[in-house]
Structure 1
Amino acid sequence: MSDFFSLGFGKTEAELDIPSLPVRGRMPEWLSGTLLRNGPGTFEVGGQHYRHWFDGLAMLHKFSFQNGNVSYANKFLRNRSYAEAKAQGRIAFSEFAADPCRGLFGRAMAVFRPDITDSAKVSIAQLAGQVMALAETPIQVAFDPQTLETAGVFQYEKNRVGQMTTVHPHLDESRREAYNVVTRYNAVSFYNIHSVSNTGKMQRIGSVPVTKPAYMHSFGMTQNYFILAEFPLVVNPIDLLLWLKPYIENFRWEPQRGTRIWLVHRGTGEVAAQYDTEAFFAFHHVNAFEQGDEVVLDIAAYEDASIIQSYYLDKIKDAKSELPFGNLRRYRLPLKAGKTRGIKVTYETISDACMELPHFDYANYNLRADYRYVYSISIDEKRRQGFYNQLVKVDIQTRETKTWTEENCYPGEPIFVPKPDRMTEDDGVILSVVLDAKRGTSFLLVLNATTFEEISRAEIPQPVLIGYHGMYLPEKENA
C-alpha cells in the first residue's frame, strides 16, 4: 500500500509529449478522438504537503487516438495557484482542506483578501463554446484540448458570483446551453441555477433560499426540472466568514435534518416541489428522467458523509483504513402528491456494488428512461481496506454486475465511448487510466464495454496521480 500511496499521491516527475505510446493488444481502429483527464499533478509544494485527495495543483492529461495509435501529453494548468506556488515555493491558496494562512492574523486577512484557489482540477466540460477545467469555486479555466495550453478564466456572473459551484454542469444540445448551480453564502444563502449559452451569454434561471447551505458536488436534470439534493452536510455561513478552518472542515453532519430534494422547474425557475427523505450523502448524481407522474433520480449514495474524511491522505496511506461503501440508489419523486412541500419519499437499491465516479452514455442516454448501463470505480466488498481497485458495470434492468480487476492496479473513472455504428447501448469501449503499483507506472486501459474484458492497454512511462474526472472528444469536436 505504501508504494501505491507514494505513486498515486506524490508528485508528477515530468510533463511529457509522446507521439506514440507502446500498446499491448490492439487498439480499435474506429477509435478516433481525444480523451482528456483532470486531476492533481502534485501533492507537494516546496516543503509543504496537501492533506486531502481533493487538494493539489491541477494537471491535464491528453490521449489522442487515430488508426490504432495513441499519443499522450500532460501539462500543469497554468493559473494563479500554479504560478504563486512556483514563485513562493509553498501552498499559496486555500483549497478544499488546505489553508495556507498560518495564524489568526493571516486568517483574518483572508476574509478581506480571500485567496481562494483557481486550481481547476476536478472535471472537464464544454462551456461557453470552450473546453474548460472546472473547480468547486466558480473560477473555471479554459484550455486548448490539442495543446493543453491554458487559455483564460471564465466566471459565472462576473462580480456577482457566488462562492461555490458544482463541477458537473448539465448540457442541453437542443438548446445549445449548459446549466450549473452556484451557491451564494450570506445571512440568507441561495442555490442559484444558471444557464450559459455556447456564446457565453449567462442567465440566472432560478434560486432556492436556505439558511444553512449544503455541500453540493453535482445536481440532476430532467426534461422539465432541475433536481437539487440537499444533504445534511451543512454550514453556517458565519463560520466561512470567520475562516478559522479550511473550507470543508466548517461543514457539519446534521442527520436529524434528513435530506431535502428540491425540484425546480426549468421553464419558470420556480420551486415545483420539495421532498423529504432520510439522511444520506452523495457526490454524484448519475441520471434522472421523467416517467409518467414521477421524476426518477439515480444517485451514488452513502449512509453519511464520512467518505470525505476517508479521503484525507493520512487515511488513504493507512492500509488498514476502510472506505465507506456507497451504492446505486433510485428515488421516485411523485409530481402529483397533493402538496408541494414535505413530500416523503424512499428509495430502492439498484446494485449492492460499491460505486464512485459513476459514468454512463450521457451524450445519448441522458434524461432517458430506457438507459441501462452504469460504469464506475469500485472496491471489493470483502476487502474494503485500501483504495478503489476495480471497475464495475451495472445493468439496471437485470441488476447484473460485471467486474474488471488486476492485482496492485488502481483504475480511474471509466469513460464510455460508443462505436460509430453501434446496435446496442453498451456497444463500444471503456477507457480508464490505471495506476500499476507493481511496475511503478500507469497505463490507459481499453475494455470491451459489452463483455467488460480487456482489449488493449497503452503504457505510460511514469505514474499518473489518482485523479477524478475527464471527457472524451470525438474527432469532429477536437478539430
Structure 2
Amino acid sequence: MSRSTAAQLGFRTLTEERVEESLPVSGTVPAWLSGTLIRNGPGRFDAGGDVNHWFDGLAMLRRYSFEDGEIEYTNRFLRTEAHDRAEAGEPTRQFATGASGLSELRRWIRALGPPEPTDNANVHLARIGDRFVAQTEVPRWIEFDPHTLETVGEFSFEDGVSTQMATAHFVVDDHRGESVGYGLSFGRRTEYYVYRVPHGSDQREVIGRVTAEGPGYVHDIAVTPNHVVLLEPPLHIDVLRGLAPWTEGFAGMLSYDADAGTRIVVLDRETGEIVADPTVDPFFVFHHVNAFERDGTVVLDLVAFEDADIVDALALEELRSGGFAGAPDGHLYRYRVDPRTGEVADDRRHPGGIELPTVPPAVRTKPYRYAYGQATDRAGANGLVKVDAEAGTATEWWEDGTYVEEPRMVQRPDGDAEDEGVVLAPALDTDAERTYLLVFDAETLQLRARARLPHAVPFGFHGRYFPDL
C-alpha cells in the first residue's frame, strides 16, 4: 500500500461516530492511570460546501477513558446551529470561511446587521462549575455531557460582562482554585476584560481591564501567582472591515503591522492594576507555555513566530497541497519582565520547532523545569518533544510518517518528581491510515503503549485530562 499523506488523512472529513468502544492496546497502560482525556477539534470539512481553513471544520469531541490498563473511546459531533446549517447546505461565517454573494447579503438584511457569530465551538474545552463546555473564540460556547459527549445546549455566563470575542484558553490554576481568562469588548474604547472563574462557580469575576492598541488577535494568556500577562501581538483586527458581508470570516479582518511591535501587559492579579506595559520587537504568538515569578521579575515562556504567516499557512488549500511542511516553525522563548522598571530581556530556550505546549499541572503558574509539546521541524512527521526549560536541552520522539498532536502530561498521584507520570498524545499513522493514542513515560519519552482507534481522526486542537471523571 502506498503511504497516505497527512494532508489526505489529517484534513479529511470523518463522519463516523463511535460510542464507548474498547481500544486494542499494544504495550502496557499503567494501572494507576484512571480518568478521562477529552479533546476538541474539527471533524468535518465538507458540510455545506468546503471550508477555507483548518480552524473552521465542524466541532467533534473525542473522549479517551482509562481504567485498569484499558482505554475506552467515544467520538461525537457537537449538534449546534453551525452543524445543522452545514448539514442543510448552508455554511456559516467562521474564522476564514464566509458564505458569499446574495445569500450572505440576505442574511445581513434579515438580521439588520451582521448575523450572530458561529457556535462551532471546536477549539478547546473547560469545566465551569459542574458543567463541561466546548469553547471557541466568540462567546457562543456549547455545554456537553462529559460521559456521552452529547450536546446539552448553548452556555452563557449570566454576570453582566459583555464581550464580542473570548479566549478559548482558560489557564486552570489549581493552586488558587480558579481559572483565568479574558474577553475583548469592541467600542469607542476597545478593551480586554481579564477575569477569573472560581472552581465550582459558573460566574466570572473581573480582575481588570486593558485598553487595546490594535486591537490585537490574542489567542492565549499567561498567569503567575500574582500577575496575569496579556500579550498583544501586531496582528490587528480591523473591525470596520468585518462589517462588510463579503469579508471572508474573521481572518479577513486581520492585518499584520510589523512596525507596531508586540505589547506585553502585566496586571496585578488582585487589583487589576497594570504594573508593566512594555513594547518589544514584533513577533506573533498563539500559545504560552507557562509563567512564574523569580527575583521580582515575571518570567514568561511562550512559542514565538517571526510574524503571523502561520495563520495563512494553516489554510486548507495550503495544508492539502503541502501538509505542515509549508508552515513556519515556532520556537520556545523566555521573556523576563521587571515590573519595577518595565525592562524586558529575552532568550531562546530551545532551537527546535515546537507548538501546542503543556506543562505538568502541579507546576502551572510556578517555577518549572519540563515542558512537553509537538515537535514540528522535520518533514514527513510531527514528533513529541520534552524540553528542559532550565538547561535549554530537549529529548525527542519521532516515528516516520507519524503526526503527533497536542500532548497532555499526567502526573502519577503518588509521585515525587515533576516528570513522574505519563504523556498522552493522539497520533496519526499515515502508513496504517489510523489514529493511535500513544502513552509515553514522561521521564524518558519511552513509548509504553499504543491504542488503535477504529479510524483516522482529523487533526484536532486542544484537550484536558480530568482525573476524577
Contact 2:125 2:464 in 1 (8 A): yes
Instruction: Give, in whole Å, the separation in 2 of the partners of 1:397 and 1:449.
Output: 17
Instruction: Give, in whole Å, the separation in 1 of the partners of 2:282 and 2:384.
Output: 27
Instruction: Give, in whole Å, the separation in 2 of the partners of 1:366 and 1:428.
Output: 16
Q: Give a deviation string over 1:51-105, Cα, whole Å, max 9, x none.
A: 111111100111111111111110001221112222x2231x2111110242473
2:217 corresponds to: 215
2:353 corresponds to: 354
Q: Which of 287, 292, 298 is 2:290 aligned to?
A: 287
> Residue 394 of structure 1: CA displacement?
0.5
2:327 corresponds to: 323
Name structure 1 gaps, 5 residues minimum: 338-342
Contact 2:7 2:321 in 1 (8 A): no
Instruction: Give, in whole Å, the separation in 2 of the partners of 1:266 and 1:255.
Output: 30
Contact 1:445 1:454 in 2 (8 A): yes
Q: Which of 29, 44, 47 is 1:45 aligned to?
A: 47
1:99 paired with 2:102, answer: no
Contact 2:385 2:395 in 1 (8 A): yes
1:376 corresponds to: 373
Q: Give a deviation string over 1:220-239, Cα, whole Å, max 9, x none.
A: 11111110101000123222
1:272 corresponds to: 275
1:314 corresponds to: 317
Contact 2:303 2:332 in 1 (8 A): yes
Contact 2:4 2:431 in 1 (8 A): no
Instruction: Give, in whole Å, the separation in 2 of the partners of 1:12 and 1:68.
Output: 28
CA 1:357–1:122: 2 relative to 1, 3 Å: same
CA 1:164–1:115: 2 relative to 1, 3 Å: same
Instruction: Give, in whole Å, the separation in 2 of the partners of 1:174 and 1:440.
Output: 41
1:466 paired with 2:455, answer: no
Contact 1:101 1:107 in 2 (8 A): no
Q: Give a deviation string over 1:405-429, Cα, whole Å, max 9, x none.
A: 1121111101101112212111111
CA 1:106–1:390: 2 relative to 1, 3 Å: farther
Instruction: Give, in whole Å, the separation in 2 of the partners of 1:420 and 1:42.
Output: 37
Q: Give a deviation string over 1:110-162, Cα, whole Å, max 9, x none.
A: 67252311111111222233221110111221212111112232224577521
Contact 2:17 2:76 in 1 (8 A): yes
Contact 2:159 2:204 in 1 (8 A): no
Higher mean C-alpha displacement, 141-150 vs 293-302: 141-150
Contact 1:186 1:237 in 2 (8 A): no
1:418 paired with 2:444, answer: no
2:29 corresponds to: 27
- AA at the equivalent of 1:374: A
1:79 corresponds to: 80
Q: Which of 234, 239, 242 is 1:240 aligned to?
A: 242
Q: Which of 243, 258, 265 is 1:262 aligned to?
A: 265
Contact 1:171 1:179 in 2 (8 A): yes
The 3-state SS of whatever aligns with 1:351 is coil
* Structure 1 stretches of 4+ moved >3 Å: 106-111, 156-160, 172-176
Q: Give a deviation string over 1:222-260, Cα, whole Å, max 9, x none.
A: 111110101000123222233541211211100111011
> Residue 19 of structure 1: CA displacement?
3.6
Q: Which of 225, 228, 239 is 1:226 aligned to?
A: 228
The 3-state SS of whatever aligns with 2:211 is strand
Instruction: Give, in whole Å, the separation in 2 of the partners of 1:19 and 1:253.
Output: 45
1:449 corresponds to: 442
1:305 corresponds to: 308
Instruction: Give TM-score, length-normalised by structure 2.
Output: 0.94
Instruction: Give, in whole Å, the separation in 2 of the partners of 1:462 and 1:273.
Output: 49
> Residue 172 of structure 1: CA displacement?
3.4
Instruction: Give, in whole Å, the separation in 2 of the partners of 1:29 and 1:53.
Output: 36
CA 1:158–1:78: 2 relative to 1, 3 Å: farther
Contact 1:297 1:331 in 2 (8 A): yes
Contact 1:138 1:161 in 2 (8 A): no
Instruction: Give, in whole Å, the separation in 2 of the partners of 1:333 and 1:380.
Output: 29
1:69 corresponds to: 70
The 3-state SS of whatever aligns with 2:252 is helix
Instruction: Give, in whole Å, the separation in 1 of the partners of 2:20 and 2:141.
Output: 27
Q: Which of 365, 368, 378 is 1:367 aligned to?
A: 365
Give percent identity, aligned residues only. Answer: 36
1:396 corresponds to: 389
- AA at the equivalent of 1:332: R
The 3-state SS of whatever aligns with 2:23 is coil
Q: Which of 427, 439, 448 is 2:432 aligned to?
A: 439
Instruction: Give, in whole Å, the separation in 2 of the partners of 1:97 and 1:287.
Output: 29
Instruction: Give, in whole Å, the separation in 1 of the partners of 2:4 and 2:317.
Output: 11
Instruction: Give, in whole Å, the separation in 1 of the partners of 2:173 and 2:250.
Output: 32
RMSD value, Cα: 1.9
Instruction: Give, in whole Å, the separation in 1 of the partners of 2:377 and 2:176.
Output: 41
Instruction: Give, in whole Å, the separation in 1 of the partners of 2:280 and 2:238.
Output: 22
The 3-state SS of whatever aligns with 2:266 is strand
Instruction: Give TM-score, length-normalised by structure 1.
Output: 0.92
1:296 paired with 2:299, answer: yes
Contact 1:123 1:470 in 2 (8 A): yes
> Residue 49 of structure 1: CA displacement?
0.7
1:251 corresponds to: 254
Count of matched residue positions in the alignment of Structure 1 and Structure 2: 462
2:201 corresponds to: 199
The 3-state SS of whatever aligns with 1:391 is strand
Contact 1:182 1:192 in 2 (8 A): yes
CA 1:302–1:432: 2 relative to 1, 3 Å: same
1:340 corresponds to: none
Contact 1:426 1:449 in 2 (8 A): yes
1:345 corresponds to: 344
Instruction: Give, in whole Å, the separation in 1 of the partners of 2:446 and 2:257.
Output: 43
1:134 corresponds to: 135
CA 1:115–1:201: 2 relative to 1, 3 Å: closer
Contact 1:277 1:344 in 2 (8 A): no
> Residue 2 of structure 1: CA displacement?
6.0
